[in-house]
Structure 1
């Protein structure tokens, strides 16, 4: 603040006024009285001090100069403090602007963090939905696996049943083959016996014929005439013919019986053999069908086993991928939560610093306002300075003094 100098002419002597108060100059302002002068009052003798007639000492008192110097230094100090306060205010305003910008950025970051949280929540919801789908598909695969196991067990039971049926059929086939072999052997034995009986029949027939021929030869040359009294005749021809016929009938009847028995037996054995052949053919067809069914069931079992193994591998891969995705999401969420906590802590620290700076600013503003008021008062005092009233002894005759 510049010190203004004013020149006032008081009896031709310049007086410097720099905003000092009248008290600082050691002057006293005479009270002004507005009461009218009474003319009718009695004239009193006015005595004057002769010292007042001496020349005035217009030198400035050193104490006044020291006070003036002190006030000047105080004004300079206040001016410097005011300038420093203005710089501080500008710095605080700049810091305030920076803090406002940081606050705005932090709010935007908070919004972005909130957006990230919403995105993370959506991603977690998506992962949970995907995990639910995987669990549902896992349950479905488990149900399919259980159904496949049940079907495999059914196929295994059917296979065992068919295998047992095959074994039973093979055993029956072996038994039937043994019976057929036995029947074939018995048929061969019967044919052999039949041939032996036929040979024996031919031999007996030949023997009978020979004996008959011998008997005829024996009877033929000897003719015996027997005469009896009773006149009975023995007809040997008739007897022989009867015996021969009876023997032939016996032989024929025996042959017919044997032939009929052998034919019946052969027919029975042929029927049994044809029945056994038919049953054997049926058994062979059943065995072939069973073999085809066994091959088909084994193929289906292999296919179901490969499907179950592939389903288990797929389930293991899906579970591994799901666990990996869940772990990654959890780690990402943990990192974001840590970053969010760090951001919240830094924001809280910045808000605390901002609050402290705002408190400092308010204190400085209050101090600045106080100093501004003081400066305004000082300026008002400087702009409206008090005049120095210097008392000088002036001899002034109010009324003429009457001589006694």
Structure 2
């Protein structure tokens, strides 16, 4: 894996097409006899010797032309590689500048924004929690007051129900007392009527008795007849007197008994009427007292109902305001969490861009290192001097293999892994 370190291009590597002319500057114009073609087959580079020690110049000319063509193609290829290398270096420079700018911006955001926003959010959350706790305490206090008022209202309603029951009992007793008074009044009127009838009857009987006595006396006075009777026969006058005495005694006794009975009954009725009147007065007074207490309890009940309704209305208003404030606080918390999440996502995106740019830079550094090794290998291959034209031997060169192998030299690479979890590094 590519490391996070920067690989600085070597100053010896040319930015333009400098490698093809380095050999000429140091050793003069290159001739076909002074160069060894890398990777050429042995049969093409083996110069046949003549028996007299002379070279076949026609073959040398062919080799020279072919070598020139190869050098021309190599020069063009090197120029293209140099152009690509220069563009890569420019791109790497731009990416490094952008990488530094992003790293600086990321460090600034990491040092400044999260801590400040976190403190602001935490302060707001603490304030909201304190406000919610205060509202909860106020709600609990109002609920306790409501429960106490509900208990007081229940006790007053029970007391009112008891008073209503007592009032109904008093009214029932009053109705019964009124019925008794009416019955006593009717009985008194009946007794008075009967007493009047008896008095009339007594007066009539007296008149009849007096009339009978008067008639008897008149008869006795008119006849003046002396009747002689035997001793064994009773005297009529004595018998009449005796009957009269008995009748008067019975009449007097009946009149006395009737008068006494009337007086006793009248006294009883008077006492009963007085007792009923007193009971009625007490019942009326008790009923008025109950009525007054009922009115007072009704007023208290109305006041308590008004207070209960007011408290319930205040409780509903507090609950509605608490619900609205809670919803607002929840919206604020959700919005702050969304902002925090967006900032975390933006930081993660910046980190991902930074990681991508770092990967691109490392890939470019590896490619630049590969091109550097290729260029160094080409330069070392070109600068190998030839001993002499006569000692030209076909040699197997391993410069390409060496260049390729050097391009794959093992390096100790430090892998820097940047992980992001919930927007935090």
Residue in structure 1 matched with residue 279 of structure 2 by the alignment:
279
Q: Does 1:143 align with 2:161?
A: no
Aligned Cα RMSD in Å?
4.9
Q: How many Å separate the matches in 2 of 1:338 and 1:365?
A: 39
Q: How many Å separate the matches in 2 of 1:339 and 1:87?
A: 35
CA deviation map 1:228-251 (0-9, x unaligned)? 9x8x9x998877766655544333
CA deviation map 1:47-95 (0-9, x unaligned)? xxxxxxxxxxxxxxxxxxxxxxx9xxx9xx99xx7xx989997996697
Q: How many Å separate the matches in 2 of 1:178 and 1:226?
A: 66
Q: How many Å separate the matches in 1 of 2:170 and 2:219?
A: 70
CA deviation map 1:153-203 (0-9, x unaligned)? 414532541353144124313422331332232233134224314423542
Residue in structure 2 matched with residue 374 of structure 1 by the alignment:
none
8 A contact 1:145–1:308 mirrored in 2:
yes
Q: Does 1:206 align with 2:206?
A: no
Give the C-alpha shift of residue 365 in structure 1.
10
CA deviation map 1:85-112 (0-9, x unaligned)? 8999799669736753553244322112
Indicate the SS of the match to 2:112.
helix
Q: How does 1:69-218 map to 2 (within 5 A)?
A: 96=100, 99-100=103-104, 103-137=107-141, 139-141=143-145, 143-144=147-148, 146-148=150-152, 150-151=154-155, 153-155=157-159, 157-204=161-208, 206-207=210-211, 209-211=213-215, 213-214=217-218, 217-218=221-222
When structure 1 is superposed on structure 2, of 195-204 and 87-96 the one drifting more is 87-96
CA deviation map 1:302-349 (0-9, x unaligned)? 333333333332232222222212211111111111110111111222
Residue in structure 2 matched with residue 342 of structure 1 by the alignment:
342
8 A contact 2:103–2:354 mirrored in 1:
yes
TM-score by length of 2: 0.55
Residue in structure 2 matched with residue 261 of structure 1 by the alignment:
261
Residue in structure 2 matched with residue 298 of structure 1 by the alignment:
298
Which of these two proteins has the greater Rg computed from alpha carbons? 1
Cα–Cα, structure 1 residues 190 and 290, in superposed 2: closer, same or farther, change >3 Å?
farther
Indicate the SS of the match to 1:323.
helix
Q: How many Å separate the matches in 2 of 1:24 and 1:169?
A: 150
Give the C-alpha shift of residue 263 in structure 1.
0.7
Unpaired segments ≥5 residues, structure 2: 1-23, 31-74, 370-425
Q: How does 1:218-237 map to 2 (within 5 A)?
A: 218=222, 222=224, 224=226
Cα–Cα, structure 1 residues 108 and 207, in superposed 2: closer, same or farther, change >3 Å?
farther
8 A contact 1:127–1:326 mirrored in 2:
no
Q: How many Å separate the matches in 2 of 1:216 and 1:284?
A: 69
Q: How many Å separate the matches in 1 of 2:273 and 2:226?
A: 63
Unpaired segments ≥5 residues, structure 1: 1-19, 27-69, 370-404
Cα–Cα, structure 1 residues 271 and 185, in superposed 2: closer, same or farther, change >3 Å?
same
Q: How many Å separate the matches in 1 of 2:145 and 2:361?
A: 70
8 A contact 2:125–2:333 mirrored in 1:
no
Cα–Cα, structure 1 residues 286 and 105, in superposed 2: closer, same or farther, change >3 Å?
same
Q: How many Å separate the matches in 1 of 2:153 and 2:342?
A: 55
Cα–Cα, structure 1 residues 195 and 211, in superposed 2: closer, same or farther, change >3 Å?
same
Q: How many Å separate the matches in 2 of 1:172 and 1:93?
A: 113
8 A contact 2:149–2:308 mirrored in 1:
yes
